[in-house]
Structures are given as C-alpha cells and as structure tokens.
Amino acid sequence: MKRMVEEDPQCVNARDGAGYRALQWAALNNRVAAATLLLDSGSEVDAGDNEGQTAMHWACVRGALPCAELLLRRGANLNAADSRGYVPLHVAAQYGHTGMIYHFKMRWNVDVDVTDLDGRTALHWASYKGFPDPVKLLICMDADIYRADKEGCTPLHWSAMKGKSEATHLLVQAGGSSVLTAVDVDGNTPEALATDKGHHSLAYFLHNQHKQLSTRDHFWTQKGMAVACLSLILGLMLGFTHYVMFASGVATMDVSLAFWSLVVLGSSSAGLYYMRRVSNADPGFVTAAALSSLRRGTRPSSAANDVDDRLNHSELWAGNWNQLCVSCKLVKPFGTKHCSMRDKCVARFDHYCPWMGNTIGKRNHRDFVVFLILESFAMVVAFAVAVVRYGEESPGEKYRNNTGILMFAAFDALTLLPVIMLTISQLVQVAQNVTTNELSNAHRYSYLKSSDGAFVNPFDRGSHLANIRAFFFPSKNAPLIDDIAAGLTTVTVDRTV
C-alpha cells in the first residue's frame, strides 16, 4: 500500500464503480495500520460512497471499534447521515454493536435520539433487529422509548411486529403501561401488530402484562397472600389454645406443659412481630442516585441522574451488559436484582415472598429468617404438646374427645413441613452467604464464575460460622452496597473466626 501511495498519492481518494474508497474497506475490516496510512496520506475522513456512507458508517457495520476511534480522532463526523438519514449510531444499532454505542456516548457524547429520514432512532433499529444488549443500553442512556416514527410506531411496535421476545420484554419493563397502549397511525397497539404477524405467545405476553401492570400496585395484589399467612398463623394459635390447651374432657395441663404451651404462643407472637417488620421494610432498594453518591463518596447531587454519572462503569467498559437495569437505569451491583413486583432494584435480592407481601433482600433477610425460625419452633413444640395431651386422655374418653387434638396436630404438621424445609434451606444459604436467586440463576452472573467456569461466591467470608455471625449480627451502619457488591473486593475472608 505504501508503495502504491508513493507512486500515486491521489489513489487514497480514488473510488470504484460503487463509489467505495480504500478507507472504507480498511474501516470495515478494522485495519488500523492501513487506515492510518491512508489518513496520513490525505484520505478524506468523511468522504461518502454513492449512498453517502462514510468510513465511519462502514466501521459500524462490523463493530470495528479501534478503527472507529482512529477515525474520530482524525475528525470523523458522528452526525454524518447517509442517503436514508442513517448516522453511524443507527448502523451500530442495526448490527447490534453495543460496545460501539457505549463508546460513542461515553467518549463522544453522541445524541442517542437522532432520527433517520423515517423518524426512527437507534432504539427503533435495535428493537426491530431484536438485539437485547443495545436495547438495554440505549434505554439506560435515556433514549426516548415512546418516540414514534413517521408511521407512528414506537420501538415496542417494531419489536412486537418482528416477534423479538427479549427486546419486547425489556421495552415493556422499562416503559410500563404507556408503551403497551401506544397506537401507530393505523390505530394498532404493539399487541395488535404481534397478533397480526402471528407472534401469538408475544401477543399473549403483551396482553397479560397490560393486565398485570394495571393491578400490580393494588393492596390485595401486594399483600393478599400476606393476609392469608397472618390468618393461618392466628388460626393455628387459636386452634392450639382451643383444641390443645383447653381441650374439653382432658385434665388441666400440668406446669411444665403449660410452660411449653406459653412458649408456643410466645414464639408465634414474636414471629408475627418479625413478619410485620419483613412485610413493611425497605428490603434494600438501590437507586441510581444512591449508587452515584456511593461511587463519588459524596451526598447525592443534581448530577446524580446524568448518564455519565450512572453508566461510566468498569463492568460496562468490560462489556458486561447483564448488570444493567432498564427500569432503574443503573448498573446493578453484584447480588442486586430488579424485583418485578416492587419495580425496584433490591440489594442482595433473595426472592419475592408473596406470603410476606414483600421482596426479601439485604435489609429484611435476617428478620425473614428469624420469622421462619420462630414459627418453625412454635409449630414443632405445638405438635409435641398436642401429642402429650392426646396421651393424657383417659382411654375411655379417647374416641369422644380427641378429634380436636388430632385435627390440630395433623394441620400443624402439614403446615410445618414446607415451613421447616424453607427454614433449613435458608439457614444453609446463610451459612454459605449465598442467596436463593444466586443459587438458582448462577449461570447468569459473571461474578459467580471463576476463570475456568466453576462456581465461586465472592460474598463467602471463608467459614460458615463467619457467614452466620455476619448475617445475624451485622456490624452497625453496614452499607447497603458493600465493597464486594460494588466489585471492589473479590473475596473477604474473616480470619478472626
């Protein structure tokens, strides 16, 4: 190339029949050295082909980031539009190059809402093509999710029409009811377009989401099962008092049995106190503003929602788009998950518990486990007391009076079984300092994998005792996002235990 350029310096800007130039081919194939030579020899950085596409457009086709960066440093125009109005960002979105989109925004502050001649943005294109990562990133960069193109179609119309499931889920999660009900120029909702194109399961999902979102925040949706759980515990306490403690036809309890009966009622009541705490607690909601201030080490400022403040993150520079939450528009710390029921990100998310009517996370997990222990203990003792009471009946009376005691014992045992299994599994997880979500979805999280793909747990303190101690007796003012969750420390082993 060097010799050719020396022999004919004009060749660097020569075009073939389609108007393509050497610089475009170098950009397409990410040939940084060749592109440097061409630029040094006078190649025009923003020269377009017959369709007006520049070398930068071509670099975006294959995600040739090093070459794109070279072009930008040599003055390439990120707003150069081709004959259809596509700027390089549109092309990067059309081909699913998330890293390129990220780079353009973070380093070159590109406008993510710029439209082509049909009024479509990069988010329209990523949704149309069904690339989940660019969709995720663009939403987090505050791309307009409600933007309608010239046909009145939002990005969700396009993903639904093309049957792109992941993109559709993300757009619904981020946009809620308003994107579901948006209509195009012909009056079609995304659901109608999905049905029309034969994407029936997607249409069903959209239909269902509309129903679910409209009732999600209602009291009975959130707390209905918790009321049932409360009634069950109160019912057991009442049943124990009526059928066991004061069973008709059975002698009054002796002191030791009376003591254990009071233990049952006391433990159950204490459990209810903890249930109330779990149900009403902030389980450890994570907000973008709090994360920004944590990283800056200052109080939240007005700049807390700025894209750069939220998204300039080592996980994203490393291409780990899984850590993005499109609802909260933040980079989730390790162990943080978005709870669809509460519609917020929760630190050390364990699971959503309908029986508590709340998410179980960092701030209420301990109370939840204490609740389980207290209720399991109460039910075990209640069962034992019932068995003893049954034995106390005089043989002649047994068949007349024991029905109540037996019924209680059977009901108590049936309820106890799932509760004690849950308690044991929770305690095992506490000893390992791993959450239910991490155990069931380990494959999704890079921080739970070692370099050879084996399971590693960065939260493990090195011994079961250390994990249990830290869980039940956390240090005062323990931060919501500790260094491990923030990715600052990989393993902390407590050597004092």
* Catalytic machinery residues: 353
User: Is the Cβ of residue 101 or residue 325 nearer to Zn ion in the bound state?
Assistant: 325
User: Is the Cβ of residue 5 or residue 324 nearer to Zn ion in the bound state?
Assistant: 324
Integer Cα distance of 447 and 463 in angstroms:
19
Considering only CA atoms, which of 250, 257, 252, 240 is closest in space to residue 397?
250
Integer Cα distance of 79 and 87 in angstroms:
6
Please tell me the count of residues contacting Zn ion according to CB under 5 A.
Answer: 5
Integer Cα distance of 184 and 206 in angstroms:
16
Which stretch, 136-144, 334-342, 393-401, 423-431, contacts Zn ion (CB under 5 A)? Answer: 334-342
User: Is the Cβ of residue 105 or residue 338 nearer to Zn ion in the bound state?
Assistant: 338
Read off φ and ψ for residue 145, nearest 5 degrees.
Answer: -75, -20
Integer Cα distance of 50 and 353 in angstroms:
60
- Shortest approach of Zn ion to residue 325 CB, angstroms? 3
Q: Is 328 in the site for Zn ion (CB under 5 A)?
A: yes
Helix (H, G, I), strand (E, B) or coil at 357: coil
- Shortest approach of Zn ion to residue 76 CB, angstroms? 36
User: Is the Cβ of residue 111 or residue 282 nearer to Zn ion in the bound state?
Assistant: 282
Integer Cα distance of 68 and 66 in angstroms:
5
For 121: left if phi > 0, alpha if psi spans -120 to 50, otherwise beta; the answer is beta
Both tokens assigned to 215: 């009732």
- What does the per-residue mask of binding to Zn ion show for 363-402, with x meaning CB under 5 A? ----------------------------------------
- Shortest approach of Zn ion to residue 73 CB, angstroms? 36
- Shortest approach of Zn ion to residue 356 CB, angstroms? 20
- Shortest approach of Zn ion to residue 307 CB, angstroms? 16
Binding Zn ion (rule: CB under 5 A), the pick from 338, 342, 365, 366 is: 338
The alpha-helical segments, DSSP class H, found in 74-199 are: 88-94, 98-108, 122-129, 132-140, 155-161, 165-175, 177-181, 190-196
Which stretch, 80-88, 314-322, 330-338, 469-477, contacts Zn ion (CB under 5 A)? Answer: 330-338
User: Is the Cβ of residue 92 or residue 328 nearer to Zn ion in the bound state?
Assistant: 328
Which stretch, 12-20, 210-218, 317-325, 449-457, contacts Zn ion (CB under 5 A)? Answer: 317-325
Residue 325 parent element (H or E)? strand 324-325
| Cβ contact 127:163 at 8 Å | no
User: Is the Cβ of residue 103 or residue 329 nearer to Zn ion in the bound state?
Assistant: 329
| Cβ contact 112:142 at 8 Å | yes
Q: Is 327 in the site for Zn ion (CB under 5 A)?
A: yes
User: Is the Cβ of residue 323 or residue 429 nearer to Zn ion in the bound state?
Assistant: 323
User: Is the Cβ of residue 189 or residue 327 nearer to Zn ion in the bound state?
Assistant: 327
Both tokens assigned to 283: 């389980």
Which stretch, 101-109, 178-186, 328-336, 387-395, contacts Zn ion (CB under 5 A)? Answer: 328-336
User: Is the Cβ of residue 28 or residue 331 nearer to Zn ion in the bound state?
Assistant: 331
- Shortest approach of Zn ion to residue 212 CB, angstroms? 17
Buried (b) or exposed (e) across 28-65, using 16+ Cβ within 10 A?
A: bebbeebbebbbebebebebbbeeebbbbbbbbbebbb
Considering only CA atoms, which of 284, 471, 454, 272 is closest in space to residue 362?
284
CB count in 10 Å sphere of residue 289 = 17
Q: Is 173 in the site for Zn ion (CB under 5 A)?
A: no
Integer Cα distance of 350 and 223 in angstroms:
18
CA 199 from centre of chain: 25
- Shortest approach of Zn ion to residue 332 CB, angstroms? 7
- Shortest approach of Zn ion to residue 140 CB, angstroms? 10
For 462: left if phi > 0, alpha if psi spans -120 to 50, otherwise beta; the answer is left
Site for Zn ion in 342-361 (CB under 5 A): 345
Q: Give the burial class of 263: count Cβ atoms within 10 A of its Cβ; 0-12 exposed, 13-18 middle, 19 or more buried.
A: middle
Site for Zn ion in 13-52 (CB under 5 A): none
Which stretch, 51-59, 150-158, 160-168, 325-333, contacts Zn ion (CB under 5 A)? Answer: 325-333
Which stretch, 94-102, 247-255, 336-344, 445-453, contacts Zn ion (CB under 5 A)? Answer: 336-344
- Shortest approach of Zn ion to residue 399 CB, angstroms? 60
User: Which residues contact Zn ion by CB under 5 A?
Assistant: 325, 327-328, 338, 345
